Amino acid sequence: MRASKKYLKYYHPEQLWKKVETNASQLGKKVLLEVLSLYYMLISEKTPLKIRVTIMAALGYFILPTDVVSDFIPVLGFSDDIAFLSYAFTKAQKYLTPETKTKASELLGKWFPDHEPEALNLELG
């Protein structure tokens, strides 16, 4: 799967936070942790430009209100978003640092106060 540059224009941090806050419970802890980790890898200067473009495209697609499978469809709504996010995460995973994991996990606690950081384990590259 190749990151589509056409989705880059849909990435805006404010829109990302709005989408996350509105859909946190539907996304679940694991997907939300992946989204947050992608965001922190995106803003890290250690992440190469090519990987940042892939992350921005995936987050742009996630934000896009009209995508292949509408987010409003129960169960299937986020399946295409999750596939693109997972692809981007797989490509970026080796740039996932302990600091990135910590920041993402701490922010996850905002939406899931019962979150235990050790309970969800993202692989470090």
Q: Is the pTM of this model over 0.75?
A: yes
Assigned domain for 106 exists: yes
pLDDT, greater one: 114 or 13: 13
pLDDT at 1: 45
Q: Which of 93, 67, 65 is nearest to 79 (CA)?
A: 67
Assigned domain for 115 exists: no
Assigned domain for 119 exists: no
Assigned domain for 38 exists: yes
How many structural domains does the chain have?
1
Q: What would the pLDDT profile of 67-104 be if each residue is shown by its tens digit?
A: 544 544 444 566 778 888 999 999 999 999 999 999 99
Assigned domain for 2 exists: no
What is the average pLDDT across 23-45? Answer: 90
Residue 77 makes CB contacts below 8 A (sequence gap 6+) with: 26, 69, 70, 71
Q: Is the pLDDT of residue 56 over 90?
A: yes
- Boundaries of domain holding 94: 30-110
> Residue holding tokens 């709005």?
18
